[in-house]
């Protein structure tokens, strides 16, 4: 019987890795498990929000009463985001670990091992920046990113907040193995233009409840 104070709001959350095809049987991806984004979706749904979860390939189950859109590549994730936010959403949270690069041209057939060389060069091109695109089009009233960093965490996070045109960024030190990618716990610093807040290290499910609470109460002030 949780407070239903987010009733009537549409929250769109991305989670998991993206998977960029090299050929029909190989891909480029990363270690995101989806746990953080799925926990945020569950926490927002529990407060009454209408939640759309756009997820790369993960092995965890979808929270009850959350609308799931499974995608693979960054291009598909961006297209799904734009489709579900045709009507401006209230809150967007980019918890997905989007691959920064994709193949310039994925191969239609399985690549053959060349016998005449010990090296293989793949040509990659930049993926679209999903959250920066959504922010520039103002597809949600409040646009919140994560910043996964292994060094200079606060500086790099503040830089992403400004450069991507976000309302809030959640800095995540991913050099540690006890938090971040694939672990059950996380510790983050929440940064806006003029505030920072560091909740305690906690299970991702519990941290998500605190983050949703914070975002919900700052929604009208910050965004
Ligand atoms: O999934 P888990 O195992 O639970 O791990 C959680 C997490 C570590 C993946 C998560 O907490 C996290 O930090 N997610 C962001 C990962 C990331 O790729 O961050 P980034 O600093 O590269 O990107 C910054 C922001 O831009 C993110 O909101 C990202 O979703 C977004 N982005 C990045 C690149 C791109 N092409 N498009 C984007 O929208």
pLDDT category at 217 given cuts 50, 70, 90 is: confident
pLDDT tens-place string over residues 135-190: 999 999 999 999 999 999 999 999 999 999 999 999 999 999 999 999 999 999 99
Residue 97 Cα to ligand 1 middle (Å): 4
pLDDT tens-place string over residues 108-142: 999 998 888 999 999 999 999 999 999 999 999 99
pLDDT of 222 reads: 62
Q: Assess whether the C-beta atom of 58 lies below 6 angstroms from ligand 1.
A: no
Mean pLDDT of 190-197: 95
Mean pLDDT of 199-210: 98
Cβ 99 vs Cβ 21: under 8 Å: no
pLDDT of 221 reads: 66
Q: Whose CA is nearest to atom 13 of ligand 1?
A: 148
Residue 95 Cα to ligand 1 middle (Å): 5
**Interface predicted TM-score (ipTM):** 0.99
Residue 115 Cα to ligand 1 middle (Å): 38
Q: Whose CA is nearest to atom 28 of ligand 1?
A: 145
Those residues whose C-beta lies under 8 Å from the C-beta of residue 203, and which sit 6 or more positions away, are 184, 185
pLDDT tens-place string over residues 78-97: 999 999 999 999 999 999 99
Give kind and range of the element (H or E) at residue 137. Answer: none
Q: Assess whether the C-beta atom of 153 lies below 6 angstroms from ligand 1.
A: no
Query: Do β-strands 50-55 and 10-15 pair in parallel, antiparallel, or remain unpaired?
Result: parallel
- Percent of the chain, pLDDT > 90? 93
Q: Choose the residue to mutate in 71, 146, 187 for probing ligand 1, maximizing ligand atoms within 8 Å of C-beta.
A: 146
Q: Assess whether the C-beta atom of 98 lies below 6 angstroms from ligand 1.
A: yes
Q: Which atom of ligand 1 is nearest to the CA of 160?
A: 24
pLDDT of 195 reads: 93
Asked about 182 being catalytic, the answer comes back as no
Instruction: Walk me through the domains of the chain, giving residue ranges and CATH numbers.
Output: 10-101+124-222 (3.40.50.10300)
Which residue in the list 30, 50, 172, 186 is annotated as catalytic? 30
pLDDT of 115 reads: 85
In the numeric block, which tokens belong to residue 198?
């560091």
7 phi and psi angles, rounded to 5 deg: -55, 135
Evaluate if pTM is beyond 0.90.
yes
Cβ 153 vs Cβ 129: under 8 Å: no
Distance from chain centroid for Cα 131: 9
Q: Assess whether the C-beta atom of 82 lies below 6 angstroms from ligand 1.
A: no
Neighbouring C-beta atoms of residue 133, cutoff 10 Å:
15
Give kind and range of the element (H or E) at residue 212. Answer: helix 204-222
pLDDT category at 11 given cuts 50, 70, 90 is: very high
Mean pLDDT value across the chain: 96
């Amino acid at each position: 019987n949780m407070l239903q104070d987010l009733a009537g709001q549409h929250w769109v959350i991305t989670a998991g890795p993206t998977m960029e095809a090299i050929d029909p049987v190989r891909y480029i991806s990363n270690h995101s498990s989806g746990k953080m984004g799925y926990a945020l979706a569950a926490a927002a749904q529990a407060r009454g929000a209408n939640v759309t979860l756009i997820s790369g390939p993960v092995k965890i189950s979808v929270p009850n009463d959350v609308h799931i859109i499974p995608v693979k590549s960054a291009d598909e994730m961006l297209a799904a985001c734009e489709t579900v936010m045709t009507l401006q959403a209230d809150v967007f949270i980019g918890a997905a670990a989007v691959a920064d690069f994709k193949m310039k041209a994925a191969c239609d057939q399985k690549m053959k091992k060349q016998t005449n060389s010990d090296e293989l060069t793949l040509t990659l091109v930049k993926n679209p920046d999903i959250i920066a695109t959504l922010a520039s089009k103002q597809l949600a009233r409040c646009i919140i990113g994560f910043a996964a960093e292994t060094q200079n965490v606060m500086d790099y996070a503040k830089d992403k907040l400004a450069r991507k045109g976000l309302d809030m960024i959640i800095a995540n030190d991913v050099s540690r193995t006890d938090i971040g990618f694939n672990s059950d716990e996380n510790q983050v610093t929440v940064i806006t233009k003029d505030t920072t807040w560091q909740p305690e290290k906690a299970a991702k499910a519990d941290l998500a409840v605190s983050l949703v609470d914070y975002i919900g109460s700052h929604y009208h002030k910050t965004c």
